[in-house]
Structure 1
């Protein structure tokens, strides 16, 4: 009887545990100082100046935290909340509150570090797929990161 209960209990525990988060991380080397790159990235709404799919960014407050509402070129809106920001370390972390991307439980960090005579910008996130297979959700986020990193690299020259 004990031999049957242990595997059954393990199966029940596995089925009750949350799905594992997916991860995407992309980076780009930029031929500019970290300070120049961080200044290019700018404040939480600075994304409107360098990400090619953002038409407009509107900043507001919610519970003392910065919230940005991103209007996308071609339609659509994403609402994101800044969780933390460290200008000295040159990074910030945010979550998506609502939007059209096929993800949920999204947490992301963008950071700048010295790399050789220039900088390395890394954008990484964890999330769960929503309404799409895992690989499609990862592909969508990777595309967002790659386009944004190219925008930063082009602007920070």
Structure 2
């Protein structure tokens, strides 16, 4: 099983960051490469579309409002992975109440692709996503 993790300091308080990203169906609010998200199964599943019209189905696995994180699994996607589990988390930054550290991490099994290629794919997705979040909150 492979894994990757990316983190970025965001110039906003943790509560403000979590307010934007903490909803499982909120990706289109800050992530430009996900223009639409439709909640299903009472909000436990989200149906995402990317700009190419491809569908990504993800299931919420764990959620904590108090600890500001959620974890999700991919049910269907155009990515060469299986057993995918990812977590998006907002951390406080000691001594800096107007900053947050956001961490996006995942573990997965490469399917019909090299492990290095899949790690690079998700590292890039996470980095681009956190860069977009930084821009949205700057």
TM-score (norm 2): 0.93
What CA RMSD, in Å, does the superposition of the two structures yield over aligned residues? 1.2
Higher CA-based Rg: 1
Residues 129 and 137, structure 1, Cα contact 8 Å, conserved in 2: yes
**Structure-1 residue corresponding to 2:36:** 56
**Structure-2 residue corresponding to 1:148:** 129
TM-score (norm 1): 0.82
Task: Give the structure with the larger helix fraction.
Answer: 1
Residues 60 and 66, structure 1, Cα contact 8 Å, conserved in 2: yes
**Offset at residue 65 of structure 1 (A):** 6.2
**Structure-2 residue corresponding to 1:103:** 81
Structure 1: distance between partners of 2:16 and 2:130: 14
**Structure-2 residue corresponding to 1:94:** 72
Q: 1:132 aligns with which of 113, 117, 120?
A: 113
- The answer on 1:33 being equivalent to 2:10 is no
**Offset at residue 96 of structure 1 (A):** 0.1
Structure 2: distance between partners of 1:65 and 1:149: 23
After TM superposition, where is structure 1 displaced by more than 2 Å over at least 4 residues in a row? none
Deviations 1:51-79 (A, max 9, x none): 12112100011xx6610010000221110
Q: Which runs of 5+ in 1 are unaligned?
A: 1-20
Structure 2: distance between partners of 1:151 and 1:65: 24
SS at 2:15's partner residue?
helix
Residues 28 and 122, structure 1, Cα contact 8 Å, conserved in 2: yes
Residues 22 and 70, structure 2, Cα contact 8 Å, conserved in 1: no
SS at 1:45's partner residue?
coil
Structure 1: distance between partners of 2:22 and 2:90: 12
Q: Which runs of 5+ in 2 are unaligned?
A: none
**Structure-2 residue corresponding to 1:4:** none
Q: 2:58 aligns with which of 58, 80, 88?
A: 80
